[in-house]
């Protein structure tokens, strides 16, 4: 076997480890939504407290997006990714032992902290181990495979729950054990880059972060992209990671049926992200795709709220289209990359992800407060859910207006409004 073949096999193995970590953190992101009732009952917490616990993940995840790039640029990738996977596993184990709001919230903060390395680590490994010409394809495949995580956190977990007599804590313990095994594998085998090669530097360390951010935020188009990405994505975590399963259960579906239907959101996201990326490239236009995504989001989110049908196939189709509409967030990263100059791209992408995930942390507690205001004797009814979830078509509508009037067409080319800045 030649050395070139050995290197090729190692490249694929390291890449698969990075995908496994991304899969694992995505799985943990969605898992509490599937067992929401059990968590609230065993911890004796309110719906608002459950929403705050869920937001803990998004808080640390969003705050870490720019620092993750800086850390991976300075510190050995194997050490950081191993530590991140360990935090996810430790957070899952901690969460399984929590009996009240405070320790459960800390557990989700830990999981979010570790998970914040997942996507960026996948990008770094892909760039460092494969030719640049394969980056877009492999990154897209990696994102698609990572999206299997939420699918596994849906129906399979709902079925497993019946096998453990509804004990969600056992499930979290099993998930933690898997995470510990993954951490060991990453610690032994994962390398950030092949030997005798230069690693990819994502952020120019010579330019102060304040300078980078001020240059970006001076561009009104950057603001438009940030608002668009946050608004078009937020329906996915609210439904997929918080209240989607519970809402469908309130409409009379079983937990397994509800989890299966909500999983269609992530299939829509996984299908739409590469589809609209490819479509916009072939058209040499970004705006038609983001406008279409917003329209699909408006229609599908309005229909699932106001249709009386409980037909699982029909609802699954509607939630698939919600995910398809939310996949417009993937184009926000492309647009941001085309607005920012070369030496600000990493900061721009990190900023976009920070705002997107930060909004995902902020809105669920607010939506839950609205739902709780319409609860009957403290119980969230179908009507209460629908009152709170009404914000989703509103968010998609605002995203549509921004996509039409606030975001300019880039024609799939680098823009020149923000000029390159030089290190001091």
Q: How many residues does the chain have?
A: 424
Number of structural domains the chain divides into: 2
Between the alpha carbon of residue 294 and those of residues 21, 298, 401, the distances in Å are 30, 6, 9
Q: Do 393 and 411 sit in the same domain of this protein?
A: yes
Positive/negative CA dihedral, 69, 74, 78, 82:
negative
Q: Do 92 and 117 sit in the same domain of this protein?
A: yes
Q: What is the pLDDT of residue 204?
A: 61
The residues, ordered by sequence, that sit 6+ positions from 316 with a Cβ below 8 Å of its Cβ are 260, 261, 264
pLDDT tens for each residue of 79-95: 999 999 999 999 999 99
Is 221 within 8 Å of 407 (Cβ atoms)? yes
Of residues 20 and 349, more confidence is placed in 20
**Residue 409 DSSP SS3:** coil
Q: Do 179 and 234 sit in the same domain of this protein?
A: no
Q: Do 68 and 178 sit in the same domain of this protein?
A: yes
Alpha carbons 166 and 38: distance in angstroms, whole number = 7
Beta bridge partners of 379: 376
Percent of the chain predicted with pLDDT > 90: 65
In degrees rounded to 5, what are phi and psi of residue 379?
Answer: -100, 135
Q: Do 198 and 208 sit in the same domain of this protein?
A: no
Of residues 209 and 246, more confidence is placed in 246
Where among 154, 173, 202 does a domain terminate?
202
Q: Do 268 and 174 sit in the same domain of this protein?
A: no
Query: Which structural domain range is residue 268 located in?
Result: 204-424
User: Which helix (H) or strand (E) segment is 345 a member of?
Assistant: helix 345-373
Alpha carbons 137 and 43: distance in angstroms, whole number = 44
pLDDT tens for each residue of 234-282: 999 999 999 999 999 999 999 999 999 999 999 999 888 888 888 888 8
Q: Do 148 and 264 sit in the same domain of this protein?
A: no
Q: What is the pLDDT of residue 141?
A: 78
Q: Do 9 and 27 sit in the same domain of this protein?
A: yes
* Domain harbouring 33, CATH code: 1.20.1250.20
Q: Do 187 and 269 sit in the same domain of this protein?
A: no
- Average pLDDT along the chain: 89
Q: Do 174 and 262 sit in the same domain of this protein?
A: no
The residues, ordered by sequence, that sit 6+ positions from 385 with a Cβ below 8 Å of its Cβ are 243, 246, 247, 250, 371
Question: pTM for the full model?
Answer: 0.87
Residue 7, pLDDT > 70, answer: no
């Amino acid at each position: 076997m030649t050395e070139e073949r050995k290197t090729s096999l190692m490249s694929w193995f390291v890449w698969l480890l990075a995908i496994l970590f991304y899969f694992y953190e995505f799985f943990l992101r969605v898992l509490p939504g599937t067992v929401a009732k059990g968590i609230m009952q065993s911890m004796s917490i309110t719906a608002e407290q459950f929403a705050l616990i869920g937001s803990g993940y998004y808080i640390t995840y969003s705050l870490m997006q720019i620092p993750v790039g800086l850390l991976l640029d300075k510190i050995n990738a194997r050490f950081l990714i191993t530590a991140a996977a360990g935090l996810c596993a430790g957070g899952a184990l901690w969460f399984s032992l929590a009996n009240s709001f405070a320790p459960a919230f800390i557990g989700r903060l830990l999981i979010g902290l570790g998970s914040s390395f997942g996507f960026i680590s996948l990008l770094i490994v892909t760039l460092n181990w494969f030719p640049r010409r394969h980056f877009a394809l492999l990154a897209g495949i990696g994102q698609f495979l990572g999206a299997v995580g939420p699918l596994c956190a849906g129906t399979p977990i709902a079925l497993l729950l019946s096998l453990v007599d509804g004990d969600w804590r056992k499930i979290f313990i099993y998930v933690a054990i898997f995470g510990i095994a993954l951490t060991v594998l990453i610690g032994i085998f994962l390398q950030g880059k092949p030997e005798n090669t230069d690693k990819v530097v994502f952020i120019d360390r010579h330019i102060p972060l304040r300078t980078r951010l001020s240059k970006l935020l001076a561009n009104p188009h950057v603001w438009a992209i940030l608002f668009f990405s946050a608004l078009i994505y937020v329906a996915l975590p609210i439904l997929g990671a918080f209240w989607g399963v519970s809402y469908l259960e309130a409409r009379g579906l079983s937990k397994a049926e509800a989890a299966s239907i909500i999983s269609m959101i992530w299939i829509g996201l996984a299908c739409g992200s590469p589809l609209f990326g490819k479509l916009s490239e072939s058209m040499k236009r970004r705006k038609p795709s983001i406008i279409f995504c917003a329209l699909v989001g408006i229609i599908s989110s309005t229909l699932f709220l106001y249709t009386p049908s409980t037909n699982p196939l029909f609802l699954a189709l509607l939630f698939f289209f919600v995910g398809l509409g939310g996949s417009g967030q993937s184009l926000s990263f492309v647009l941001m990359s085309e607005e920012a100059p070369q030496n600000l791209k990493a900061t721009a992408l990190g900023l976009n992800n920070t705002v997107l995930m930060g909004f995902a942390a902020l809105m669920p507690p607010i939506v839950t407060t609205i739902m709780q205001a319409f609860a009957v004797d403290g119980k969230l009814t179908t009507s209460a859910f629908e009152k709170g979830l009404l914000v989703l078509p509103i968010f998609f509508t605002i995203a549509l207006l921004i996509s039409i009037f606030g975001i300019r067409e880039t024609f799939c080319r680098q823009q020149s409004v923000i000029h390159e800045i030089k290190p001091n």
